[in-house]
Structure formats: structure tokens, C-alpha cells
Amino acid sequence: MPKRPIRADDLLKIVTVGDPQISPDGSKVLFTKKTINEKNKSISNLMSVDMEGRLTQWTQGDGGNGGGRWSPDGGTIAFISGREKHAQIFLIPTSGGEAHKLTSLPQGSIGAMKWSPDGKWIAFTYREQMAGFTDKAKKEREESGMSQPPIEIDDIWYRLDGDGYFAGQRFKVYAIEVATGKYASASIDGEFAPLYEGSPLGAYAFDWSPNSKELAISHTACKRPFVEPPNDQIYRVSMDGQAWKVEGLPKGEKGNVLWSPDGTKLAYAGDVDESDPWGTRNTKLYVVSADGGTPIDLTGHQDYDLDVATLSDTKDAGFGATMFWKPDGSGLFVQIGWHGEVQLGFVGLDSKVELITEGLHSIGVGNLSHDGTKIGATFGHATMLPEVAVLEPELGTGRMAPKVLTHLNEEFHNEIKLSEPEEFWVESTDGIQVHGWVMKPIGYLPPRRYPALLEIHGGPHTQYGWAFFHEFQLLAAAGYVVVFTNPRGSKGYGEDFCGAIRGDWGNKDWDDVQAVTRWMQHQPYIHPGQMGVLGGSYGGYMTNWVIGHTHEFSAAVTDRCVSNMVSMAGNSDFPFNKNGYFKGVAWGSLEEIKELWRQSPIAYFENVKTPTLVIHSEGDLRCNIEQSEQVFTALQQQGIESRFVRYPSFTSHGMSRSGPADLRLHRLNEIVTWMDRFLKVK
């Protein structure tokens, strides 16, 4: 049976896999499987696959199950589930039997979770719901006819996109004894008590000591994190709640703290720069004595970044470094994004960096088996949806290929014809080479010219690459040449390339977008008079910048955009630090405001002539919807053809990747309809 072009509603058929965790004995990989049911609901459940591809399903239902973690002996799986309405930690024996509830937490949110090496404890982070906003409080108000209460805010950190409003509530670190359900540091049995709560943001990275007697916890030491320069520190916390700081560490960011197998060292990912709150510098790997001292930078001599998010709409972006110790303590396995690829690497204590895998693909690294011979992972590329895989690294023997274990999207791939991206490089200003990809329309027939679309990624400090993009495939199936690139500001091309736009948007990045635009105009299969531009988040910013500075594009779609840096500085969930990433601040001097205004696309909207579709979620806390309201108002008042699609307040900044399926389909159809209207002329 011949394959057919992809449709928007094929999104409903895609099976998403994530969070791969190999069992301690290396015999199987636990993962989260996500599907969309007939009622438009995303369903997540835990499954495992053995080395021969045999599947086992561990959870059922639509309550939401994820975060599965093997106990050290492999006999139990701990996971987080909303099957009882509010999230709790459950345990299920791998020998068979029903899951039972370990925690009875009040309504709230559970974050990270880790077993102690001896299997007696589980440490986790948890934040309680605001008192007046629990389901119980809501029901009582409805019964008595009372209004929803106000949110009372006393701190600048009171909301987070995708997480909502939490006011003064903060995550805290807890440790619960698996056998008894008793919390460490609690004075009486059954008492619900945190082990540690030292962060003003409630954001922690933690790891167990090999002897299971303490935790190493990293978090900000700033009293005013959005005013002071970055200063994360590491603390050692005993099981009675006593904490002491690991002395000698410099200021800067520190995350992913990991105890060495012999307990003598701590590794962490971070940087020593005190003026880079947005991470344009490379995230490096450091090792320090567990008793304190001067850290050793193991990767600073290379230009690799350990925190490179590769974007896709069929997998998690994967922000943050991924790394874990080799069991013999000789170094750490790490995940490295480079030139659109995502590979497994190894960093030795001798500072030697080795890439273990190679190829045009995207690997999502999970964890390591106890003997260090196998790694759980996901694996995919531009024309293959991610599947669960296993890596068997052998250092010094050359590059290895992942072994794919699942084929959950086999039916999808057997039915649908896809466009294969072709990579290219184009020269921009300063002799910079910009990396990009082009996807030709399904059914492409030379020498015909086709309408073309330039996709601009968000971040901006992320990368496009060899990952499956449903949206791109849909546009190629709709008859468009699809071009996507990594202009300056992208990660995966070195520290200087990424930092070239720090506090200076609309300059070198715009040079690179212009270079790509000229490249598009000179391709024999692209009609230069039928080109469109689109992007989300920072990609929406740059789309706004493009239409304010050129008329080369006949249509535009600006999605969850930034338009006014002055207002953006104060209404994002991550407010701008004064003279941090950007110079000045919105409430500063006139000169400081002018600097932000100079980088604001809305300042140039008197030049816009391009018909523009504006898309935004009312629940977006990262880029407030007022950014798009300003764009739409300016377009309408100048008589420019425009349309504003506002998605409801329960959707967030990441709606195109993780929002409700019906609204994601609506968004895709809006984009295709808009581009067809202005680019597909007879």
C-alpha cells in the first residue's frame, strides 16, 4: 500500500516515549509512554522493554503515571501518580502484584525523586498547594457562595509558566522511609516534615551519598535571586536535617550535583560566571572534594556545552545537563548537543572528552546499569519518532550505535510518507557559517518552484537539529519548502556563537536570518515571491523583527511572541535582572529604557506591511499575552491584514508541544490556512 502525506490529525496517532531508566541489572528499560485517547486526553503510563523488545505495562488508567524509578535491587518501582486525584508516590513490586501508596501528601506538586543506594529511603521534592486554592477550599466556597480569594504575593518569585501561580509556597526536600512511611527528621511517626528547605526559590538538585546517610543539595544562596548575580552553592544534609555548606566553591550556577561512587568527590554542571543569568556561556563539568576546596573544570578546554536543548514537538526539549558517574569513578557519562546532533559522551577525570556515539540523530540519555555496561536512552532522528533504546558504551573502541528496543510508532511510519531534511551551511557577516536544513515538499517535481517557509526557533539559546518535527512535516506535505536554521544565539556551535547576541537581540542574529533569506531566494526550487516566516517565543520575537525590517516575506505567523522588551522585562515569570543579560532595566533611567526599546520589534512596526497571524495562549507566563496584543493593535491600526488567535488560560507557553491535542490541531490548521491564503497564488 503506497504511503500518504502526513495530516494534522496524525498527531493523535503518535506514541511519545520518555524518561528511560534501565534496571539495575541492565535487563530492561523502564519508560513513560504517552498517547492521546478518544476524548482528547493525554494518557501517560509506565512500561518496560527487555533487550529482546518484549514489552511489559506496569500501570493502567488515565490518572497520569510517570517518573518511574527502579529500587537499587530492582525489586520495586517507585512512581508518581494522580490516580487518587492528587499526586502521590506509589510503589509496585516487579515480581507481580498491585501498586500501593507510599505517601499521603496534602494537595500539591511532587518534583524530583531518588532512591537511597541502600533502598531504605526515597528523597523527593514537594510543594503544598496554596491554602485557599485547594479542591476542598474551592468546594466550600461554592457551597457558601463565596468568591475566589485573591492571590497574596510578597515575593517576586510567585509563578512559573506551565506550573501556574504558587505565591509564597516553595518546594522543600523530604526523605521518607520506604518500609514505615516515616519521614526523616520527623519527631513522631506519621508526621509530615521536610528534611531541608534552604532555597528562596524552592529549586534544588540533589543526590544521595553512597552510604545513604546524607544528601548533597545544590541551590541558590542568593537572598534576592533576581537582583543578585548567580550564586549557587552545595550543601551536605544529614538524615536528621543538619546541614553544612561545602566550602571553597565559587559563585555562578551549579546543578546536577552527583556524589562519586566512593563518596570522596562531588560532580556538578555549571559555570563560574556571575553575570550570565540566561546561560549563554557553556555549561561545564566540575569535580570537587566532598569536603570542599577548589573545583576542577573538566570540560572548559573544549567548546562543548553540557546543556543544549534540541527542539521538537514530539519529545521533551530536555533543558539541563544530563550526566552520571562511571561505576569505577574514573569519569562521567554526559549528553552533548553539537551541530544539531545529540550524542553520548564521556569525560574522564583527566579532562579527556570522548564522543561515544555519532550520527545524524538525537539521543535522550537516561541512566546507567549498576555494572556500567548499559545505558537507557531514547533514540530518533528527523524522519524517525523517538523510541526506547539501549547504549552499550565501550570507551576507546570507536563510535557505537544505539540498539532500538521499541517500535511503538511502526504503524505510523509504515503509513506516512515523510520529507527528508537536507543540511546546508550559508555564510553570514563576520565570516560566520550558519547551519540549516531544508525540507522539500512531498511530491516535489523539478524544475517547479514552490512557496517556502522559514521557521525560526525559540530560546534563543537552543538548537534545531536531527529531531522529528510534526509541524515541519505537515508544512512539507501541504506543498511548502520548509527551511529551519540555527542563527547566532543558538547552542551547539560554541560559546562565542551562542554569546554573540547576549543583550543584543536583532543584530547578529538578524544578519544570519538575512543571509538565510538570500540563500532561499536563490534556490531553483523556491519561488522568491512566495515566502513566509514564522516562529514561536524568541522565534516570534525574530518574526516580528523580520517583518519590521524587510518586505521579502508575503506572510508571517508570530506565535507566543516577544514584541516590547520594556514591558517584557517586568511581566515574564523570569523578570530581567538589572544589567544582567540585558543592559539596564525597564524601571531605570531613560537611557536604560532606550536600550531595551532599541531591541523591541514593536518600535519598528510603522514599517510593517506583511499580513500576519498572531497566536498566543492567555495562560502564557513566560511571554505575556500583552506582547501579542501590542502586535495585533499595531497591525490593525495600520490596516494590515491580521488575525489574532487566543488560546484559553489553562494553556501555557509550551502549548504547541504539550498542550491539549485539539488545540494543537487548531493551531496547525490556522498556520496552514494563513500561509495558503497569501502564498499559494495562481
Query: Please, are residues 69 and 91 in contact by the beta-carbon 8 Å criterion?
Result: no
Full-model pTM = 0.97
Number of CB atoms found within 10 A of residue 443's CB: 12
CATH class (in words) of the domain with range 419-564+600-679:
alpha beta
For residue 574, the Cα-to-chain-centroid distance in whole angstroms is 15
CA distances from 164 to 129, 133, 573, 594 (A): 11, 12, 10, 32
Of 213-217, 313-317, 407-411, 426-430, the poorest mean pLDDT is in 313-317
pLDDT band per the 50, 70, 90 thresholds, residue 395: confident
Amino acid identity, residue 435?
H
Amino acid identity, residue 668?
L
The pLDDT assigned to 319 comes to: 81
Residue ranges of the chain assigned to CATH 2.120.10.30: 106-129+169-297
Average pLDDT rounded to a whole number, residues 582-594 = 88
Amino acid identity, residue 553?
F
pLDDT band per the 50, 70, 90 thresholds, residue 147: very high
Number of CB atoms found within 10 A of residue 29's CB: 28
Average pLDDT rounded to a whole number, residues 285-314 = 97
- Which has the higher per-residue pLDDT, 215 or 585? 215
Q: Mean pLDDT in the chain?
A: 95
| Angle at the Cα of 454 from the Cα atoms of 304 and 517, rounded to 5 degrees | 90
Average pLDDT rounded to a whole number, residues 189-213 = 92
For the chain, the 3-state helix, strand and coil shares in percent, each to the nearest 5, are: 20, 35, 50
Cα–Cα distance for residue pair 202/646, rounded to 1 Å: 32
Cα–Cα distance for residue pair 452/475, rounded to 1 Å: 9
The terminus-to-terminus CA distance of the chain in angstroms comes to 33
Q: Is the pLDDT of residue 97 over 90?
A: no
pLDDT band per the 50, 70, 90 thresholds, residue 190: low
What is the phi-psi region of residue 396: left when phi exceeds 0, alpha when psi lies from -120 to 50, beta otherwise? left
The pLDDT assigned to 189 comes to: 66
pLDDT band per the 50, 70, 90 thresholds, residue 388: very high
**Which grid coordinates belong to 262?**
566512593
Percentage of the chain exceeding pLDDT 70: 99
Which H or E run includes 411? helix 410-415
Cα–Cα distance for residue pair 165/569, rounded to 1 Å: 19
Q: Which of 337, 307, 305 is nearest to 321 (CA)?
A: 307
Residue with cell 517547479: 448
Query: Please, are residues 465 and 310 in contact by the beta-carbon 8 Å criterion?
Result: yes
Could you report the per-residue pLDDT of 304-335, keeping only the tens digit for each? 999 999 999 998 767 889 999 999 999 999 99
**Which grid coordinates belong to 659?**
498542550
Active-site annotation, residues: 537, 653
Query: Please, are residues 171 and 111 in contact by the beta-carbon 8 Å criterion?
Result: yes
Give 148's contacts (C-beta < 8 A, 6+ positions apart): 138, 141
Residue with cell 514593536: 602
Percentage of the chain exceeding pLDDT 90: 89
Cα–Cα distance for residue pair 624/155, rounded to 1 Å: 19
CATH class (in words) of the domain with range 106-129+169-297:
mainly beta
Amino acid identity, residue 469?
F
> Residue 572 has what DSSP assignment?
S
The pLDDT assigned to 317 comes to: 66
The pLDDT assigned to 187 comes to: 63
Q: Is the pLDDT of residue 358 over 60?
A: yes
Could you report the per-residue pLDDT of 599-633, keeping only the tens digit for each? 999 999 999 999 999 999 999 999 999 999 999 99
Average pLDDT rounded to a whole number, residues 275-286 = 87
pLDDT band per the 50, 70, 90 thresholds, residue 84: confident
CA distances from 18 to 6, 318, 364, 388, 634 (A): 23, 10, 8, 8, 42
**Which grid coordinates belong to 159?**
509563578
Average pLDDT rounded to a whole number, residues 176-189 = 86
Cα–Cα distance for residue pair 292/538, rounded to 1 Å: 39
Residue ranges of the chain assigned to CATH 3.40.50.1820: 419-564+600-679
Instruction: Compute the radius of gyration of the chain from its Cα atoms.
Output: 25
Give 410's contacts (C-beta < 8 A, 6+ positions apart): none
